[in-house]
Every structure is written in structure tokens, then in C-alpha cells.
Amino acid sequence: MTIASPTSPSSGSGTASVAAPTSPLSSWTRKHLLGLEDLSAAEIMAILETAQSFAEISTRSRKKVPALQGRIVFNLFFENSTRTRTSFSLAAKRLSADTQDFSTSASSLSKGETFIDTAKNIEAMGADVMVVRHPTPGAPHLLAQHVKASVINAGDGAHEHPTQGLLDLMTIRKAKGRIEGLTVGLLGDIVHSRVARSNIWGLTKLGAHIILCGPPTLVPRSMERLGCEVANRLDDILPRCDVVNVLRIQFERQQVGLFPSVGEYSHFYMMTEERIRLARPDLLLLAPGPINRGVELTPEVADGRHSAILDQVTNGLAVRMAVLYLLSGKMEARTTQTN
């Protein structure tokens, strides 16, 4: 794959005429981004390289480029989200697209219009891109079969959250200079986590070794078949990790008895200063957020020198710009507008 950097700024930051990314995209073939499982390592790298260029744009005083001018990006969120939706909106705006949010709960939708009907209505309003979050795995895939717009999966149930996976990859790569050969621990509720799955696919394809760590009810042994190591005791594996990605615990899991109490969970898995001392001095700590301070990690650790939590947010914006930009090359030409 030979995707050049999308930016070719002739001068430094602050210039009035920011060039639109102009790289040839002949080798980017996908119209949708539904998951990292589908992507090749080369495609993932192309997104990361593109994101790197956009990250540079974000440091300029004028942050907007005209790549998606005239395009409409719809955020269809059938599940609560503030960060991801805001990040996608901002990414689209920086590419000069128009954005519109459509948020509802899947449960209220189920009483009336179907998901597909809703999406078709939105398409009729001229959406070029639909960024979809939905509690059901496969909902973006269903949508992609029924609309002409490009579909970006912004999280489908416990299945995938590809842009989160990509921003985690980008953050690791920036901090460590590579992915290949690293040992990455994913910690917490793996079985119910879309972030975990996108991390697993992305990291595996780029050559990292993954250790999934948590209680057996949240990290079943069968996950070894995904090519990962499975461990139950954090203290045993922490010394081997270059990176630990701390996944959020959903309290409803405790209510259905998947672990006895939040206190017991924290006892075994909370990242504390004490535990950090077991780790390598250059341990990189990620958390997709929103974080529960005092449950998954202590405030000192969350704000400490190992933490890259805020870098993740910044990189998320660049990754989403890159995805929107790359997919825009495959969007259908709009035939309804003639002038």
C-alpha cells in the first residue's frame, strides 16, 4: 500500500492558505469502516500515517481544511455518548463538512420506525457519511447494506469500536515508536468490550503480543483462540507489559453477578501507585474513558507520568479526520444537487 501523506503544506503553521490534503488515494478501496477485523495491516498503517499528518494540522492556529466541503456527516447515536460524538463532529468540521446529530435510544426507536427506515430518512436529507453508534453488534453492517452513504462504526454493542482501536494504536505508536514486538495488557471487562475487540484485531495485525487480564467471568479462557494470552492476576503479568489499556468496568456487570463487588474488583485490578512499581519504568497507561477513578485506577495514576489518557483524546480527533478523509474518496458522487 502506498498512501502518501495527505498534507503537503508548503509552509509552516499559521499560513493563511492551508492546502487541502492532496495525496492520491488510488489504493484506498473501502467505502465503510465497520471494524478493524476486516482491515489489513497495510490499511491500518495507512490510516495511522494519514492521522499523523492531520495531527500536525491540529497544531496550527487555523485548523480547518476543505477536504469534505459540501459533504454532510450525520452522527446517528442510538446509545449515549458525548466524547465520541463530539470527536467525530469536530473531525468533520475541521474537514469543512456540515455535521448533524441524530440521537435517540434504540429502545424508543423499537416502538415505532425501524432503524433502517430512520437511516433512509436521514439519507434522503443528503447524508454522505453516517457515523453510527448502536447497542446491537452488526447494526452498522445492516445499515451499510441498505444505504448508499459511507458508514463508520462508532461502536456496535460489544463488537467493535474501530476508531477507538485506531486511536489507541496511534497513541502507542507515538509513545513507543512501534507496535510490533510490544506486550500490551488489556485489563478489565474484556468479554463485553468493543474497545477490547478492536484493540485485539488492530494490535494483533500490527504484531503486538496481547495479554487479556481480568476475572474469568469477564475474560473467558476461550479468548485465547483470538491469539491472545489470558491471565487472571494483574500482578503476575504487569512486569511484562509495555502498555496497559485499562477498560472501564460497567457497574451493571456486578449487578448480574459477574464479579462479587466493586471493592473486590478494585482489590485485584485497580492500577495503583503500588502496582505501578511492579511495572516497567516506561509503562504506558491508556484508558478509553470515561474512567472511574478509584475503581480502575487511582487519581494519582490517572494523572501520573505513565498516563496517556489525554493524548488518546487528541489522537482520536486526528484518527477520525483520517478515516473521514480516506472514506471520502470512495463516497458516491452526489447526483441530487446540480448547481
Residue identified by cell 463485553 is 192
Nearer to another protein, 141 or 209 (CB): 141
Stretch of 91-99, 134-142, 238-246, 270-278 contacting another protein, by CB under 8 A: 134-142
Nearer to another protein, 2 or 107 (CB): 107
> What binding mask, one character per residue, do residues 267-306 give for another protein by CB under 8 A, x or -?
----------------------------------------
Count of all residues that appear for the chain in the document: 339
Window of 21-29, 189-197, 202-210, 281-289 that interacts with another protein by CB under 8 A: 189-197
**139 lies in the binding site for another protein (CB under 8 A):** yes
Pairing verdict, β 243-246 and 284-286: parallel
Out of 90, 106, 175, 331, the only residue in the binding site for another protein (CB under 8 A) is: 106
DSSP tally for the chain: helices H, then strands E: 13, 9
Q: Is residue 77 a contact residue for another protein (CB under 8 A)?
A: no
CA distance 110 to 122: 17
If the CB atoms of residues 13 and 145 are measured against another protein, the closer one turns out to be: 145
270 contacts 292 by C-beta, under 8 angstroms: no
**Mask: binding to another protein, 146-185, rule CB under 8 A, as x and -?**
----------xxxxx-------------------------
Measured distance between the N- and C-terminal CA atoms of the chain, rounded to whole angstroms:
36
The smaller minimum CB distance to another protein, of residues 130 and 326, is found at 130
Q: Are 18 and 293 contacting, i.e. CB atoms less than 8 angstroms apart?
A: no
Distance CA 158, CA 156 (A): 6
Question: In the chain, how long is the greatest CA-to-CA distance?
Answer: 65
- Taking CB under 8 A as the criterion, the residue among 142, 175, 262, 331 binding another protein is 142
Q: How far is the CB of 24 from another protein (least distance, A)?
A: 33
Q: Which is nearer to another protein, 224 or 300 (CB)?
A: 224
Q: Which residue, 153 or 292, is less far from another protein as judged by CB?
A: 153
Q: Does residue 227 belong to the site contacting another protein (CB under 8 A)?
A: no
Minimum CB separation from another protein for residue 260, in Å? 19
Q: Is 79 in the site for another protein (CB under 8 A)?
A: no
Q: Is 191 in the site for another protein (CB under 8 A)?
A: yes
Q: Which of 317, 313, 327, 315 is nearest to 89 (CA)?
A: 317
Q: Is 32 in the site for another protein (CB under 8 A)?
A: no
Pairing of strands 150-156, 129-134: parallel
d(CA 9, CA 220): 49
- To 10 degrees, what angle do helices 162-176 and 41-57 make? 70
State the minimum distance, in angstroms, from the CB of residue 165 to another protein. 13
Q: How far is CA 37 from the centre of its chain?
A: 13
Measured CA angle at 85 (ends 79, 86), to 5 deg: 145
| Side-by-side strand order, sheet with 72-77 | 98-103, 72-77, 129-134, 150-156
Instruction: Give yes or no for residue 134 binding another protein (CB under 8 A).
Output: yes
Contact residues for another protein, defined by CB under 8 A: 37, 106, 110, 114-116, 134-139, 141-142, 156-160, 191-192, 194, 197, 220, 222-223, 225-226
